[in-house]
Structure 1
Amino acid sequence: MNIGSIATAMITPFREDGSIHFEMVSDVVEHLIANGTDSIVVCGTTGESPTLSHDEKVALIRFVVKTVHNRVTVIAGTGSNNTQASIDLTNEAEAAGADGIMLVAPYYNKPNQRGMYEHFAAIAQSTTLPIMLYNIPGRSIVNIQPQTVLQLSKIPNIQIVKEASGNLDQMTEILAGAPDGFTVYSGDDGLTLPLLSIGGAGVVSVAAHVVGNDMQKMVKAFKEGRHEEAASIHQALLPLIRALFATPNPSTVKYALTKLGIGSEYVRSPITLLTDEEKSAFDDVWQEYEKKQI
């Protein structure tokens, strides 16, 4: 599965009453494609997947696939802490035309490594779609250990791991032992450049909603050997990336997008809208970023 250098974990725009605003979903898709996104992840955590119903996820996947119309890769977040439910949603995502699926580590249940292997292997066996594993111990509590990732990488349709452990040593271990064609992507915007430097392929990004083109410039500079330029862009991006995650995701990135005339601020409980003070704090960082020449 080719997802390029930058995949964006897309927000889900809502109306004030909490329903999905499909017209705005279309606007967000067009914005992302025009601003540096190589592929789109729909129904990920940034899309507020924990508060989307099964039927809403299926409708959203179908809509995004239709809107994208083969212009970029569409990856559907179908993982959960329920193996059978993940299989069911995966089957519907495949029928809807998704190009691949993303499977988060089973959260809350706290399975051991054998349990996680069996969970992912069972879902992989149920589909022909390429699979991206998603390791995010800060949210799921469990860490998919490198040896488990490497064991899973032997399953033909498990082709990518999105690593959001923040542990570059762990990522290095996976890269050193992975078979040809298995790739590692950062799940943290701020580790995009460090991961590229040890052999990673790119990032599944939140910040790309607003700075996708600048992130592409950084990746291109690195790949073309202009490492000082890449480092300079990374340094300029980092304060903005931190500001985007100063409140629970995706409230700040939704607010940031509205400054560009895209989407809506509305989020589903238990995520909350930004306060005026939080907006002001982000505005200050945004203004400083706009002054920089990237």
Structure 2
Amino acid sequence: MFSGSIPALVTPFDDGGAFVESAYRDLIDWQIAEGSSALVACGTTGEAATLSKEEHFAVVRICVDQAKGRVPVIAGAGSNDTRVAAENLIAAHEAGADAALMVPPYYNRPSQDGIYQHFAALAVDAPLPIVLYNVPGRTVTDIQPATLIRIVQAFPKVFVGVKDASGVLTRVSDHRAALGDDFAQISGNDDLALAFNAVGGTGCISVTANVAPRLCADFQTACAANDFAAARAIHDRLFALHASLFTDASPGPVKYAMTKVRPGFPQGLRLPMTWPGEASRKAIDAGLTAADL
């Protein structure tokens, strides 16, 4: 259902922390014009953790309105409270999203069976497809392959893909052996996307695509055509930038990079996120130069 370069959109804020709708709409148009195949609104990179529920789904609604059906919109909608996650799915559907991106419960650290039961409860009345989002570096909770396979096999029409940020490349093969090629496996790590696609991945939900949407789209097109020589050349060009965007707490670095490639882009972040330090900014500048951006 999903493939290619899918930016995890930043959410523009002014210096006072207010959402800048005009900048967001411009960003969406630029992303689509540059070849992005779908958009993620209000994910981790979109600072969803600092948005109220009303703000969160207002931003999703604006993304859907600006995309105008040109590409699908995936709304971040996860929660560590199953009841709240169910409410978020309804809100994402009402906002017009095409799918929801859902992390397993964080902080309360359920067992593998608890993870399964969480998603099984959501699947019963799910009003739109769900892309699982496994990011144990942030949630601590890790959807093990056997659990993910159990979830998808039980509800194949609901769970259509995974954004895998575990960093464990063998999981692509584990998942594909059990679920086939129709289940979308999407990398959550830009720096691993080349290897991820080589073993069966279908795309990347990308931080770097905020800054370099055309290069990220061309990279994914090359991978889909099995032209891994061309893909590797783009990967090499972007590798320093990929790394630099995580030299300080994300999304501070990518927002700094946005001001370099989109002059006038709002510089605001909401606490506890802060502007990247000097060493990070120098690394980003070098990454942008290496990528000829």
Bin of the TM-score, shorter chain as denominator length: over 0.9
Task: Answer whether contact 1:91 1:126 (CA < 8 A) is retained.
Answer: no
1:197 alignment partner in structure 2: 198
Q: Which moved more, 1:268-277 or 1:125-134?
A: 268-277
The answer to whether residue 272 in structure 2 is matched with residue 270 in structure 1 is: yes
Alignment of 1:66-77 (within 5 A): 66-77=65-76
2:91, 2:60 → 1: CA distance?
9
1:287 alignment partner in structure 2: 289
1:237 alignment partner in structure 2: 238
Alignment of 1:70-149 (within 5 A): 70-149=69-148
Moved over 6 A (4+): none
Amino acid at match of 1:98: A
Task: Answer whether contact 2:172 2:200 (CA < 8 A) is retained.
Answer: no
Q: Per-residue displacement from partner, 1:113-171 (whole Å, max 9, x unpaired)?
A: 11111111212222231110000010011110001111111202111011000001122
Residue 229 of structure 1 deviates from its aligned partner by 2.2
1:123, 1:279 → 2: CA distance?
41
Which runs of 5 or more structure 2 residues have no equivalent in the other structure?
none
2:5 alignment partner in structure 1: 6
Amino acid at match of 1:86: A
Residue 27 of structure 1 deviates from its aligned partner by 1.4
Task: Answer whether contact 2:208 2:245 (CA < 8 A) is retained.
Answer: yes
Kindly tell me the number of residue pairs found equivalent between the two proteins.
290
2:273, 2:238 → 1: CA distance?
25
Q: Which moved more, 1:280-289 or 1:92-101?
A: 280-289
Secondary structure, aligned partner of 1:75: strand
Taking structure 1 as reference, are residues 169 and 4 closer, same or farther at Cα in structure 2, changes over 3 Å only?
A: closer
Secondary structure, aligned partner of 1:153: helix
Amino acid at match of 1:270: P
Amino acid at match of 1:288: A
Secondary structure, aligned partner of 1:47: coil
Secondary structure, aligned partner of 2:61: helix
1:124, 1:46 → 2: CA distance?
26
Residue 221 of structure 1 deviates from its aligned partner by 2.4
2:187, 2:14 → 1: CA distance?
31
2:198, 2:218 → 1: CA distance?
15
Amino acid at match of 1:91: I
Residue 179 of structure 1 deviates from its aligned partner by 4.3
Alignment of 1:171-210 (within 5 A): 171-179=172-180, 181-210=182-211
1:225, 1:89 → 2: CA distance?
38
Amino acid at match of 2:284: F
2:249 alignment partner in structure 1: 248
1:75, 1:51 → 2: CA distance?
18
2:170, 2:99 → 1: CA distance?
27
Task: Answer whether contact 1:153 1:179 (CA < 8 A) is retained.
Answer: no
Task: Answer whether contact 1:36 1:208 (CA < 8 A) is retained.
Answer: no
Residue 110 of structure 1 deviates from its aligned partner by 0.6
Task: Answer whether contact 1:74 1:100 (CA < 8 A) is retained.
Answer: yes
Amino acid at match of 1:13: P
Q: Which moved more, 1:169-178 or 1:71-80?
A: 169-178
Task: Answer whether contact 1:5 1:203 (CA < 8 A) is retained.
Answer: yes
Taking structure 1 as reference, are residues 284 and 249 closer, same or farther at Cα in structure 2, changes over 3 Å only?
A: same
Q: Which moved more, 1:101-110 or 1:220-229?
A: 220-229
Identity %: 37
Task: Answer whether contact 2:2 2:161 (CA < 8 A) is retained.
Answer: no
Secondary structure, aligned partner of 2:292: helix
CA RMSD of aligned residues (A): 1.5
